[in-house]
Structure 1
Amino acid sequence: MKGVEAIADALQRYTDTQYTVPGFPVTDLGALCNAELVINEKTALEYALGDSLMGKRAAVIIKNVGVNACADPLLQATAQGLIGGVVLVTGDDPDALGSQTAQDSRYYGEIAELPVIEPDASTIYAGIEAALEASEQFSRVAMFRFTPPVLDADTKEIPVPRKNGKGRLSDRTYTMNGRVTAAENLYRTMFDWSSASPLNRWDGEPAGAGPAAGRTRVVIANPPPEQIAGMHDIREYGRPYLRDHRGMSPPMPGEHPQSMEDRGFYRTFCRNCPFIPMMNVLKKRGMAMICDAGCSVLGMNHPYDLGVASYGMGASIAVAARSTKIALIGDYALLHSGLNALIDVYEKRLPLLCIVMKNDCTAMTGKQPAYDPLPYLRWAEPVVCRADDEATLERELVVTDRPRTLVVTGTCPEGSAHETVAY
């Protein structure tokens, strides 16, 4: 069998769902997996994160430039955490044979503090399973990076046991600073995992990574194993990531992650926020949701405690479509980077209640004006109601078997600010 067939078989064995955006060199791989086509890479990763919240393992099959498109939720997931393993199956194109750039996706491992695995033909099955186990162990997305020679290589079916693990979401009592600190503390432990991985094989120089030949085989690309620190002859396909990161040290030990109790307060909606009646209905019904960035994220805090997770600007729609079925998003965030996901959800008729808080401004960052989303939502046939129309809110705040959009309109009071409440 060829490497592309082995990767497809491994993904079907070790993941429950697969999503893809076609493009060289991943088009055939996505087809072999019968992966679900998605409107863009950001939405695909958000679907996978939604599956993860439901305890499923998910794969996102994309090419190198596609990683750029999903960078925001990719980094957000490191701080937010996840439950089921998520693997970003990334096809790099170092010779730019079918791509606009020759970028090397391994560098995202350093930026987002991800485990990155780059197999040769003999470690495909073990590499996919190891990536998923690492995703669950370190509660973040893992990357499985490959290049065209690995797809074309002859290999054998070498399955390994599937060992479903369970990641965890960041402690909801942490501040945002606390979440980042906790994620970085976990990243420190990833360095020992990398150096101890049985996927790496040590037998002197030269060392080879991916399809590059070598006596030593380096499969864990990030964090780089400590054993390569003294090596001089390291052969790679693409940029010299391992060579340039020899001797890379883990982050300095951090302080205990800051909690809201440590800080002394939590934040909630403005005292006179027009959307409080809507939040009260949601609270009364116990409607768990995915919160977007901006004021929507306050739905995760007391006194509402409704938000399960938040993966950044525009992410709530696709994540919720595969998990809670309820997304809370602001008008600015919707137009910023949520509209593509809403289109995909409607095309697939996925059950979702998308609640758009329309206040015509970016309230969390200084009330800069925002575009009116309604002209761009006519195709979705949204229900529009005032934030104080409690009868309509009671009727419309329900999840059905199809996608629905509810636009709730309100005006932020002049001079208002988010309330800080002693913890």
Structure 2
Amino acid sequence: MKGSEAVADALARSADRLYTIPGFPITELGSLCNAELVINEKTALEYALGDSLAGKRAAVIIKNVGVNACADPLLQATAQGLIRGVVLIAGDDPEALGSQTAQDSRYYGELAEIPVLEPDATCLHAAVEDAFAASEQFSRVAMVRLTPPVLDAEAEIHPVARHDGKGRLSDRSWTMNGRVTAEEILYTSMFAWSSGSRLNRWNGEPAGSGPAAGNTRIVTVNPPPEQVAGMQDIRENGRPFTRDHCGICPPVPRARPQSLEDRGFYRTFCRDCPFHAMMRILKDRKMKVICDAGCSIFAMNRPYESGVASYGMGASIAVAARSTKIALIGDYALLHSGLNALIDVYEKDLPLLAIVTKNDCTAMTGKQPAYDPIPYLRWADPVICPADDVPTLERELVVTEKPRTLIITGNCPEGSTHEIVEC
């Protein structure tokens, strides 16, 4: 059995849903898995995060440059957290045999503070299952790096039992500073996980990772195991990531995450925000939404607390399509990076209520002007409703079995500012 076939078998055992965007060297793997094709990598990862919130494990199979396209939700997920495991299968091409670059995706492990595993062809099943387990243990996406020599190699087949864990979302009582501190505390504990992994095999130098030969086998390449400190002969396929990172120390976070009470206040919508009527209906109906970046994120705070999670600009559409079925997004965020996901949702006829608040500005960052989204959404046959039209809001704020777009229009009052409430 080839390495790609072994990985496909491992994913079939460990994952509930699979997504892919074709590209060398993972095109064959995506086909073997019968993975769902998605419009782009960002949307695919957002779907997977939605699956996670809904209690399903999900994997995204993409090539090296595709990791760039999903970088925003990848990093956001580290601070926001998740429930079930999400694994990014990154197909790297160190020789640029079929790619525009020889990008090494392991560096995203350091940037996003996520576990990165790079197995050889002897432990593919265990590496995939352990990646899901690490994602759940540390409440963030995990990455498995694969290169052509591993995908094309004759693989050893050692199936392992699946053991679903459960991650957590960041505590809504924390400030954003507190959420970052909490994830850094978890990242610190990830170093011990790497050093104690069953996948690594220690037998002196030279050490190898991925397809690179060595007496010692290093699979958990980020964070690096403490045992590699001081090793001189480390062999890798691609850039010298492990060699350059051996001996690095865990971060030193604050003593504990900062809470809203520690800070003394929380922020919410402007007192005279035109969208309060919409928010009251959502709260009264106990409708849970995925919040986008911008003012939508205030739906997670008091007094409404309707928001479940937020994974960055434009992410609410795809995340909601696989979880709560309700996305709350502003006009600017939708045009910035949410349209691709909305197209994919409509093409797949997924049940979703996409609520677009149209205030013609970027209210969170200083009310810079925003483009009118309506000309670019006519294909979706949206319902357009003034923010003060309560009867229409009550009729249209419902989830059906089809994708629907509701554009709610309102103007931010001149001179208004987000309300700061002491706590």
Query: What's the CA shift string for 1:362-421, capped at 9, x where partnerless?
Result: 000000000000010000000001000001000000000000000000000001000011
Distance 1:156 1:188 in 2: 33
**Equivalences for 1:104-123 in 2 at 5 Å?**
104-123=104-123
Distance 1:303 1:312 in 2: 22
1:158 alignment partner AA? H
2:208 alignment partner AA? G
Distance 1:259 1:307 in 2: 18
Q: TM-score, normalised by structure 2?
A: 1.00
- What is residue 248 of structure 1 aligned with on the other side? 248
2:369 alignment partner AA? P
Does residue 192 of the first structure (1) align with residue 192 of the second (2)?
A: yes
2:256 alignment partner AA? H
Cα drift, residue 422 of structure 1: 1.1
- What is residue 90 of structure 1 aligned with on the other side? 90
Q: TM-score, normalised by structure 1?
A: 1.00
More displaced stretch, 253-262 vs 329-338:
253-262
How many pairs align? Answer: 423
**Equivalences for 1:297-308 in 2 at 5 Å?**
297-308=297-308
- What is residue 284 of structure 1 aligned with on the other side? 284
2:354 alignment partner AA? C
Query: What's the CA shift string for 1:269-302, capped at 9, x where partnerless?
Result: 0010000111111111110010000000000001
Cα drift, residue 211 of structure 1: 0.2
Task: Look up the SS of the partner of 1:319 in the other structure.
Answer: helix
Cα drift, residue 155 of structure 1: 1.5
Q: Is the 8 A contact 2:123 2:156 kept in 1?
A: no
Task: Look up the SS of the partner of 2:123 in the other structure.
Answer: helix
- What is residue 408 of structure 1 aligned with on the other side? 408
Cα drift, residue 135 of structure 1: 0.2
Distance 2:97 2:414 in 1: 56
Query: What's the CA shift string for 1:285-336, capped at 9, x where partnerless?
Result: 1100100000000000011000010000000000000000000000000000
- What is residue 368 of structure 2 aligned with on the other side? 368
Q: Is the 8 A contact 2:81 2:140 kept in 1?
A: yes
Cα drift, residue 156 of structure 1: 2.6
Task: Look up the SS of the partner of 1:230 in the other structure.
Answer: coil
Does residue 54 of the first structure (1) align with residue 54 of the second (2)?
A: yes
- What is residue 343 of structure 1 aligned with on the other side? 343
Distance 2:104 2:351 in 1: 37
Distance 2:48 2:139 in 1: 14
Distance 2:356 2:332 in 1: 9
- What is residue 173 of structure 2 aligned with on the other side? 173
Distance 1:47 1:243 in 2: 35
Q: Is the 8 A contact 2:300 2:308 kept in 1?
A: yes
Task: Look up the SS of the partner of 1:266 in the other structure.
Answer: strand
- What is residue 35 of structure 1 aligned with on the other side? 35
- What is residue 312 of structure 2 aligned with on the other side? 312
2:322 alignment partner AA? R
Distance 1:361 1:177 in 2: 26
Cα drift, residue 85 of structure 1: 0.2
- What is residue 264 of structure 1 aligned with on the other side? 264
- What is residue 377 of structure 2 aligned with on the other side? 377
- What is residue 353 of structure 1 aligned with on the other side? 353
Distance 2:352 2:111 in 1: 32
Provide the aligned C-alpha RMSD in A: 0.5
Cα drift, residue 228 of structure 1: 0.6
Cα drift, residue 157 of structure 1: 1.9
- What is residue 154 of structure 2 aligned with on the other side? 154
